Amino acid sequence: MVTNKRRPKPTAVEVDVTIPDKVVTPTEFAAHLAIMEEMLHDVARSLNAEADSIRVQIRDLWPGSAHARLRVVAGPRGEGQAAPKTIVQAAKRHLRDIGQGKARELHVSTRILQLAKRAASSAKPAVYGFSDGSVRLDKEFRHEAVRALSPTEHRHGSLEGRLRDLSAQGGYRPLRSGLRAGLVTRHREITVPCSVAREVAARVRNAFDRRVRLYGVVAWRGEDPVGIKVDDLKVFEPNASLPNWRDLIGIAKEWGPPLNFEDE
């Protein structure tokens, strides 16, 4: 018997992004929409193992205002993953916790905090609306985000990633205090602010957009690096420039026993 059952409609949840100001530039508005999308994807990633478990679409735009409604639906790999509703609720909870100064307990990820801080850094405060309340991203919110981002410990170490966001001044001449850069870490792609000592500023400038390992004092917030004071660096050659590992097989055949060989 052929049944004419329709497939259940995928659940969708809506989120509002508003900048309640008379004059809003397209850049300001677009930045908030992008931050909201990025934030939802990050929360989804923290709840789900699969990337792309949700999709964020524009549902409505209101003329004469900076007000958009976004629709969050399950993505192509969303099956068996946390529902969009759970993800949106988690995002709202994170934002609310940041605003209420409860985000220091490390349950809000560093990525979310960085995005929230960026969203609240705009001159015109935005309001992110959810089905059961809204969160205003203003100066106080930013203050709380900055507080929550403060490191819990410092220790000597190194970070690997790609160098981005070199300070404009650094591009032309090193400042007396060195220069600033951003390192996008290899894992989780957290942007870590780097304060570069003057001695290595030139080398850091030349390593822009390359894979590097930075050495120095790393500030940690729980398990996430939130800053590094760089005193040395190693710039990696791209894989294509390195010898193929197949060509290295057996090169040490005639060299005798290596260190600790007798232990095996």
List of residues contacting other proteins (CB under 8 A): 31, 34-35, 37-38, 41, 45-46, 49, 51-52, 155, 157-160, 185-189, 211, 213, 222-225, 236-237, 239, 242-243, 245, 248-261, 263-264
CA 178 to the chain's CA centroid? 25
**C-beta of 132 vs 153, nearer to other proteins:** 153
Cβ at position 259, least distance to other proteins in Å = 5
Cβ at position 157, least distance to other proteins in Å = 5
Cβ at position 74, least distance to other proteins in Å = 17
Per the rule left: phi > 0, alpha: psi between -120 and 50, beta: everything else, 189 is left
**C-beta of 100 vs 157, nearer to other proteins:** 157
CA dist 235 and 160 (Å) reads: 10
**C-beta of 1 vs 240, nearer to other proteins:** 240
Neighbours of 221 (CB within 10 A): 20
**C-beta of 172 vs 245, nearer to other proteins:** 245
Cβ at position 72, least distance to other proteins in Å = 15
**C-beta of 101 vs 217, nearer to other proteins:** 217
CA dist 211 and 234 (Å) reads: 9
**C-beta of 159 vs 201, nearer to other proteins:** 159
Cβ at position 245, least distance to other proteins in Å = 6
**C-beta of 77 vs 93, nearer to other proteins:** 77
What burial letters (b/e) apply to 199-218, b meaning 16+ CB within 10 Å? ebbeebbebeeebbebbbeb
Least Cα distance to 166 among 199, 197, 198, 193 occurs for 193
Cβ at position 183, least distance to other proteins in Å = 11
DSSP per-residue string spanning 110-142: HHHHHHHHHHHTSSS-EEEEETTEEEEESHHHH
Between the alpha carbon of residue 175 and those of residues 37, 206, 220, the distances in Å are 36, 16, 26
Least Cα distance to 35 among 148, 113, 145 occurs for 113
Cβ at position 104, least distance to other proteins in Å = 17
Which strand (E) or helix (H) includes residue 144? helix 139-148
